[in-house]
Chains A and B, each alone.
Chain A
Amino acid sequence: MGIRHRMNRREFLGAGAAAAAGLAFPLPAFAQAAARVVVVGGGFGGASCARALKQIDPKLQVTLVEPNRTFVACPFSNNVIAGLRSIEEQQFGYDKIAASGVTVVAQAATAIDGAARTVGLADGTRLSYDRLVLAPGIDLRFDALQGYDEAAAAKMPHAWKAGEQTVLLHKQLEAMDDGGLVVIAAPANPYRCPPGPYERACLIAHYLKTKKPRSKLLILDAKDTFSKQRLFQNAWKELYPGMIEWISLSQGGKVNAVDAATNTLITDFGNHTAKVANVIPPQRAGRIAGLAGAADNTGWCAIDPVTFESKSAPNIHVIGDACIAGGMPKSAFSANSQAKNCASAVATLLAGGTPGTPKLINTCYSLAAPGYGISVAGVYAPKNGLLADVEGAGGVSPADVPREFRAREAEYADAWFKTITAEVFG
């Protein structure tokens, strides 16, 4: 107490040595000029990341490359299919993002030169970057199911990218006579929105029960288990008895081919002809990730779980549905969580620092009916080079609870959508 510290000789020498060492490693040249970050893809991942970068370091030059002037959100789009919501409620613009200082370029990214650090756009211009963030979402694999190409998708919609396809599936359900068979083909893992096909089954069943009660819904699945399975199956029994049938992989549920002319889905053990067929095909990372050399032979992008930097393409970070995020599901919430952590890592790297170890969160709400919500939540951290589930954190909604509990979760779902879209686009 009261003794002032005096620097002794050893400390003095040590301080001098550290200063000298600092001089030996000058800061990178781009630290003087504003560093340039290009973000490709204006969905929940890319838009969140562009905004977060600007918030973390307002001096950064952040460009968001997205060809569509209106974003159509996938979460809650199953409500549009079931006639419970308008497609307009799913639409968001980029004006507020531009107002926050992000340069929004309404062009498609068509080429990436990792060596020159440039992004080529559809109009021929090139953008230079110090670091690039790819958030291209998914491409549907039109080569995966025999007979299922883009033309077939106009007859048998996937509705797995929200927009025209969502509206098309809704219109087909409206046009169907009572007593018709609706078939959903669900893909094997991994794919965008793991609980999505089953929420969709619920909400379509809700529509059928209300408007066309003699109809049936069949799910042909390339899996034997799925997200929130027990909760969904309980809801099917409770809300839609006798209406939904699920054929799993081991029961011959995997669809291999389709015949769009007859609306037929073909498995190894039988054909199913639908009045309305919703074919959700296998998927891969958006095409630009492959062009950047960031996608591996699975079609998805391996990343460093701390920085989200591609394991195969230096200075290129991949977030959202396109990346291999270990235990994290491909969801809007995951993309948003990854975007913020990636933005922080990118800003730190550009400032010459070492990014800290992140913790990420995901929550997925699903509606089994209006006012009937269920959820799954998880916390993730880097472990053995992947983002792994933090054991004991998160979980799913309890199985046996009163309907008020489900009603509250439906309210949370609604609040979550308002919050995330306000944060990202508002």
Chain B
Amino acid sequence: MIRPGEIAIVGAAESTRIGAVPDMAQIMLHADAALNAMADAGLKPSDIDGVACVGPMMPQQIAHYLGITPKWVDGTGVGGCSFMLHVRHAAAAIHAGYAKTILITHGESGKSRVNATPRPPEPQSLQGQFEMPFGPMGPPTLFPIPVLRYMKTYGVTHEHLAQVAVVQREWAGKNPRAAFKDPITVADVLNSKMIAYPFRLLQCCLVTDGGGALILTSADRAKDFPQKPVYILGSGESVETTMVSQMEDFTSSRAFRVAGPEAFRMAGLKHEDVDHLMIYDAFAHLPLYGLEDLGFVKRGEAKDFIWEGNTRPGGKLPLNTNGGGLSYTHTGMYGMFALQESVRQVRGVAPAQVPDVTISVCHGVGGMFSASGTVVLSNERP
């Protein structure tokens, strides 16, 4: 059995620039972040013996491009939370002795589309047969499909869902790298352009270019690296369906309810131990589902928890402190950026640093409630 704190993150970095980076192909966004993470850890490509990145044929592309000869690879691609799963799988691989030093990379030319991955669902796939004919066009039309049911079930108002974006902008205002920093109000959100009712522009994530990378090794080796180790206390993963129309319960994510509690169980963690929280916010409803499905509040209580200021700067549970996918950056697979912010917070070097963070929980979603991964990080080894 892997023990809490047995594996650590010893290198972490984002690409040098995020936002609009039209002068870099997607593969170079991976490499730029990987080189930055290796510099952060004081490593060269020849020191890396394991590689993880998202999707078919990708580990070999990235390993070859960077000049790495891996003896362990992982191409798990379940959407934007794939990196949480990579962290979990890499920790298991290091524990098993399959590799010593593992590099996880992300790069996505989501905005500029230079060497970007095409992703139209095949007309023979179940989504191609039973969702695409009815007019969805990307995540803004699919991810919010369950929202009206959630609103009716728990009495959630448009104002509640606008407040999510308002609070995250407040955090973004403290982060020089955030795409949007100007304060907004609930009225600003509700007057922004309608995209797919009930969601307006300011409740939908950004579309940007960028990358990020992480380097993991055993905690015993971690103390010899230049950065303070970030210990992995626990993790969880699950998947539900590629079709949002087929999720079991429109008011809760089954994948969240599996991944989150498993990470808490592994870490031996209670909710009151958590100092800092990231919940992948592709759209404004995700922090609400995440707070409830991870058990920070009861079902239906997240709307008031956010409205009352608990997740804003100075609140008791700082949430999405980089500004999130709504205001910081969102390349298409934002999970890597949520992990980077958790690492910064437990290292104590975040732009909007929360005082005295010991434990951060980082929760990701993939596809439209299709997959989930949760990672618990700490600067203390239990």
Q: Do A and B come from one complex?
A: no
B interface residue numbers (CB < 8 A to A): none
A interface residue numbers (CB < 8 A to B): none
